[in-house]
Amino acid sequence: MSNRSGQAHQLRVGDRPLIKYTLIGITLLLTILLLVVPLISIFQQALVEGVGHYFASLLEGDTLHAIGLTLFVALLTVPINLVFGVMLAWSVTRFEFPGRKLLMTLMDIPFAVSPVVAGLLYLLLYGNNGWIGSWLYDQDIQLMFAWPGIVMVTVFVTCPFVARELIPLMQQQGREDEEAAVILGASGWQLFRRVTLPNIKWALIYGVILTNARAVGEFGAVSVVSGNIRGETNTLPLHVQLQYEDYQAAAAFASASLLALIALITLLFKAYIEWRQEKLMHHESDQEKQVAK
Amino acid sequence: MATHLSAAQARPKHKRVLPGLGLSLGTSLLFISLIMLLPMTGLIMQSVDMGWDEYWYVITNERVVASYKVTLWAAFFASIFNGLFGLLLAWVLVRYEFPGRRVLDALVDLPFALPTAVAGITLATLYSQNGWYGDLLASLGIKVAYTPVGIILAMAFTSIPFVVRTVQPVLEELSPEEEEAGMTLGASDWAVFRRVIFPALWPALMTGIALSFTRSLGEFGAVIFIAGNMPYVSEITSLMIFVSLQEFDFPAASAIASVVLMASLVLLFAINVWQARYLRRLHGR
């Protein structure tokens, strides 16, 4: 795609073999040192005391509970942010209205705000001293230091991801297809399901997977509102910290290896989508060439 | 600002045929108000409650000021490193075909997908004295773990993708004509890069560096394990907030957090305005 191999080959910057292979070499070396080795070392450290120990530490009660709580939080967070992401992407790519740019900037707040600050914001509002929290306290509702608080901050931290994946794609695709469908009499839901959804399907799935990866792995914000109660409000990343600070390094890395596995699956899926898209584009351009003939 | 921009770019009047403006915009606004804006009221009330003198005392406390310096410098060096490494990665990914290119492209996103706490304990273990790297570096007399260098390393790790992903699309769309003309005229690779390619890339590069810097300022999970968290030396500001919270000193935590929050919001808006400007210049020609 990037190398226009069809054209007569003219020399471009950095095409000389010496420069090319030096740059590739440096990049690969740095990537291996900075990314690949750390990734491998997670699994190496997890297995350092043997496979038996690895599984035993994963099957321990508190670890299992942490895994369960983490999945539960992700299960609640992802659908909420899926709906929000689609709604936001639809409104900013399909309509012009005053404040549209401002809305897109506001959407990015969770990216810019430190997770610890995010957790604190929720703690101050919904904690027992907050103006909503004190009212909730009177109603005997406890959100902070319990799972609802963990879900709330996780929603905050991960809410831009779906919209971020959808907006560039939907902007690029334009609104012609959808406008045609409306003129042909499609209802709102038919329009979304039959026209929009097939076009954005892969970006949407990737957005969901990325949201999931971040929801499962959120640490700073969750550690502020969780209260770190072992076997109760400990998510998997917090459990990793507890084990690590308890000098149970192998157990900490065993828990961490599960999170690393989710990260790897996320990357694999993204690579698959990109590979698929490139193939689709090649296919289309081949067809165009044949038509031209 | 935003209304001004959209008025300037107004397309030829277009009759609205698509449904769902009310529903989608309404949901988005409600969500943003409830999830992002409402929680800020708690922080504002808490800070106002304190009174100016106490607020000023807390945010200019010596140990806190030291943490600002550590955080800013570490984020600065981390984002400069990522500017260089990210530019190199983007260049190699866009310009060259080689075995493993797709794997490399996928790996770039690893720091986004990997939980920060996992990155934290992994880096701390690798660079500690018994770790693979720490062992090697110790024999050279270099100490990374539990020093400010470790903080830079952790910040750089978590924000690698920003520069790559902002520079990559611009590099892909660069038209080859000027570049080839320069090369045909016999200019050196470096001269053509500096005169032709770099001017086209640098807005994207700056955006990427700024994003990387913003992310690094707020980084917590990856940093705390490797930093050693020594007062005045290797404490980051996020940790100061966390420590105040553990001491149930909510006013202090809020005051420090308000400084961090304002800094990140100002950066976020500045980056967005700057991006809108250079996009307009790009398309306005």
Q: Are A31 and B105 within 8 A, CB to CB?
A: no
Report CA torsion sign: B89, B93, B94, B95: positive
What is the mean pLDDT of the segment spanning A10-25? 89
List, as ranges, residues 145-204 from B with C-beta within 8 Å of A: 156-157, 160, 172, 176, 179-180, 183-184, 189, 192-193, 196-197
Q: What ipTM was predicted for this assembly?
A: 0.90
Report CA torsion sign: A149, A127, B42, B117: negative
- Reply yes or no on whether the pLDDT at B3 is more than 60: no
Question: How many whole angstroms separate alpha carbon B29 and alpha carbon B19?
Answer: 17
Q: Are A101 and B2 within 8 A, CB to CB?
A: yes
Which residues of chain B make contact with A238, given a CB cutoff of 8 A?
117
The identity of residue B153, as a single letter, is L
Q: Are A215 and A158 in contact (CB under 8 A)?
A: yes
Q: How does the average pLDDT of chain A come out, rounded?
A: 90
Question: How many whole angstroms separate alpha carbon A43 and alpha carbon A255?
Answer: 10
Question: For B18-31, how does the pLDDT look when each residue is reduced to its tens digit (9 = 90+)?
Answer: 888 889 999 999 99
Provide the CATH topology of domain B65-235: MetI-like fold (1.10.3720)
pLDDT score at B163: 95
Question: How many whole angstroms separate alpha carbon B18 and alpha carbon B24?
Answer: 12
Q: Are B118 and A31 within 8 A, CB to CB?
A: no
Which residues of chain A make contact with B269, given a CB cutoff of 8 A?
105
What is the mean pLDDT of the segment spanning B120-145? 92
Q: Are A30 and A196 in contact (CB under 8 A)?
A: no
Tokens 């689709």 map to which residue? A280
Q: Between A and B, how many CB-CB pairs are < 8 A?
A: 317
Question: How many whole angstroms separate alpha carbon A223 and alpha carbon A234?
Answer: 9
What is the mean pLDDT of the segment spanning B171-192? 87
Which residue, among A201, A240, A99, A221, has the nearest Cα to A159 in the 3D structure? A221
Q: Angle between the B62-95 and B237-246 helix axes, to the nearest 10 degrees? A: 130
B96 touches chain A (CB under 8 A): yes
Question: For A134-179, how does the pLDDT look when each residue is reduced to its tens digit (9 = 90+)?
Answer: 999 999 998 999 999 999 999 999 999 999 999 989 988 888 889 9
Q: Which two tokens stand for residue A232?
A: 């109760």
Question: For B44-82, how does the pLDDT look when each residue is reduced to its tens digit (9 = 90+)?
Answer: 988 888 889 999 999 999 999 999 999 999 999 999 999
Q: Is B92 exposed, middle or buried (0-12, 13-18, 19+ CB in 10 A)?
A: buried
Q: Which two tokens stand for residue A68?
A: 């369960």
Tokens 């001491």 map to which residue? B247
Helices (H), chain A: 17-31, 37-46, 51-58, 61-94, 100-107, 109-112, 115-126, 133-138, 147-158, 160-173, 176-183, 188-190, 197-217, 220-226, 236-245, 249-292
Which residue, among B89, B169, B96, has the nearest Cα to A34 in the 3D structure? B89
Domains in chain A, start-ordered, CATH in brackets? 67-238 (1.10.3720.10)
pTM for this model (two decimals): 0.90
The CA distances from residue A253 to A162, A172, A181, A229, A270, in Å, are: 29, 42, 52, 20, 25
